[in-house]
A and B are shown apart, each in its own frame.
Chain A
Amino acid sequence: MNSASLIATLALVRDTFREAFARRIFWGFFVCSSLFLFALAFIFRIDFSAGPPMVHSFQGTLAVAIYYVGTALSVFASASLVSVMFEPGRIELLLSKPVSRTHLLLGRYLGNLAVVAANVIYLTGGAWLIFGLKTGVWGGGFLLSALCMIFVFAVLLAVIVLAAVVLDSAVVATMITFGILFAAAILAQRFSIERLLSSESSRQLVELLYYVLPKTSDISGIVWKLSVQEPVESWMPVWSSGLFGAAVLAAGIRHFQKRSF
């Protein structure tokens, strides 16, 4: 990447941050996270005389809660940050600059991801610090779970980007992303579902959907295991979700490259 590209990338990321600040998205997250950390530090009585396992168990529960609530809030907040870029009168000026369309879209994507990552790191890092100071237990699993959260958001953000590029609507992009989250939660129970299906082809379809779509529910299990310091048996949910995210993001970029504004 040459210096002009780097300057443009940083400008796009910084612009997304500024827009998140202006729309109070960043501050909304920040205030909620700060209130939670304040409660954790001064209101909740954290006295785990049972030792590290108890602390890790509490951290695991907390990490899964942050994973689900944080992901849902991030999807809500991010959909508008992506689609606003395609507003008439704004997109033309961006496209007239000596920056490729791929670069523009990825710059916005990275900026959006950075906004959410900053908040996730603040929240989980703050909680980890408070737990450590209060209990003396400093396991790093809880911090690693933050990476999983950011990763899942990156996958879902790819869906938001594709939906926003194709449909030009923040609302529809949000609906589609939540649809995928919902489908992933159902497909996580695929063995139970398959028992209810009579035909082999239906069962194969469920299997196919399970492997194709991101495995957000399964990853919540990994978040739990990382937090409670248990070994993760399979990283398949992570890498297959990553493949899905990469494919969807590539489709979004391809559509953006061919679109007339």
Chain B
Amino acid sequence: MSAYAIQTEGLTKVFRNQWAGAELRAVDDISLSVPAGTAFGLLGPNGAGKTTFVKLLLSCCIPTAGRAMIFGQDSSRPEARRPVGYLPENHRFPTYLTGHDMLDFYGALSGMDSAARRRRIPELLHLVGLEERAHHLRLSSYSKGMLQRVGLAQALMHSPKLLVLDEPSDGVDPVGRHHIRAVLQELGKQGVTVFLNSHLLAEVEQFCTSVAIIQKGRVALSGSVEELTRGSGYRVEAVDVPEQLATELRAGARSAAQINGSLELFFATREEANGAIDRLRAAGVAVESLGRTRSTLEDVFIRTVEQKAA
């Protein structure tokens, strides 16, 4: 089996309106590799092409050029999609089915026999936190949050090796979101590759190890969350710094903040930070903490999107 759960080569989708003579490059020459066993986040503003990319990946959409592979197999082959669990955005599950029956149906489409489905369904409904009484209620009476939970259970039905989730927390309350994240983290520990398409950047930052930001159908930035959010500077925090020394250090720092007797200093280089630490220690001041400055994923996202737009 391939070391990559997902690989795309020059994946392109152009939508053409022959009547109006217009065309839209929804996905434009995307080549992306997602190693097996990682948690990968796909980010981008509305209309960037994220959902089209996912649809191309799962062969719901026919590419104009390029190809997508799942564990080394062309995703247009039905067999290639066997290890995939998918929760689409704006899903429309058959509302005439109960939660139990819905899982049974999609489990059968994944090739599970009835004994395996009977075993797995109650297990999963409990895992996603759906109460017993909801199992045999029609989906038409489910709330949005309940539909997301049962949708996640559907994606997990056949114990997939790759989980593709398009806005999985959409409409879920914070407790439910926490619950979903815990489930995903557990799956991550079991080696399941999670491909997350979400607007909730904090959620992606907490869960994913790598991300790609796409804009106007192209990859604008990609890398590990650690690398992307690592700032270029250093932070030194000390307490009870004498006033004179604090003033001198502030003057040499890129920025500084005083919070409840604690002084936080931000330096551009390692040498500057080390020089400040030497001076603090020479003055007998205790250094409370030190480290690299970090950006949030949201900072990175906004910076990338604005740069590309400019």
Interface residues of A (CB under 8 A from B): 3-5, 7-8, 10-12, 14-15, 18-19, 21-23, 87-100, 103, 258-261
Q: Which of these, B78, B82, B90, contacts A88 with CB under 8 Å?
A: B90
Q: When the two chains form their complex, are residues A99 and B91 in contact, meaning their CB atoms are under 8 A apart? A: no
Q: When the two chains form their complex, are residues B60 and A91 in contact, meaning their CB atoms are under 8 A apart? A: yes
Q: When the two chains form their complex, are residues A19 and B105 in contact, meaning their CB atoms are under 8 A apart? A: no
Give Cα A22 to B105, complex, Å. 15
Binding-face segment, B93-101, B185-193, B196-204: B93-101
Q: Is B110 an interface residue (CB 8 A)?
A: yes
Interface residues of B (CB under 8 A from A): 13, 55, 58-62, 78-82, 84, 86, 88, 90-94, 96-97, 101, 104-106, 108-114, 154, 164
Give A92 Cβ to nearest chain B Cβ, in Å: 5
Q: When the two chains form their complex, are residues A100 and B78 in contact, meaning their CB atoms are under 8 A apart? A: yes
Q: Which of these, B81, B97, B111, contacts A96 with CB under 8 Å?
A: B81
Total residue contacts A-B, CB cutoff 8 A: 93
Q: When the two chains form their complex, are residues B81 and A15 in contact, meaning their CB atoms are under 8 A apart? A: no
Q: Which of these, A19, A88, A90, contacts B93 with CB under 8 Å?
A: A90
Closest residue on chain B to residue A5 by CB atoms: B111
| Residue in B81, B82, B104, B111 with the greatest tally of chain A CB atoms within 10 Å | B111
If A98-B81, A260-B62 touch, whether A15 touches B111 (CB-CB below 8 Å) is no
Give Cα A8 to B106, complex, Å. 9
Q: Which of these, B13, B84, B109, B164, contacts A8 with CB under 8 Å?
A: B109
Q: Which residues of the other chain, A, contact B105 by a CB distance below 8 angstroms?
A: 11, 14-15
Q: Which of these, A7, A11, A12, A89, contacts B91 with CB under 8 Å?
A: A89
Q: Which residues of the other chain, B, contact A18 by a CB distance below 8 angstroms?
A: 94, 96-97, 101
Give Cα A149 to B122, complex, Å. 43
Give A94 Cβ to nearest chain B Cβ, in Å: 7
If A19-B96, A90-B94 touch, whether A96 touches B60 (CB-CB below 8 Å) is yes
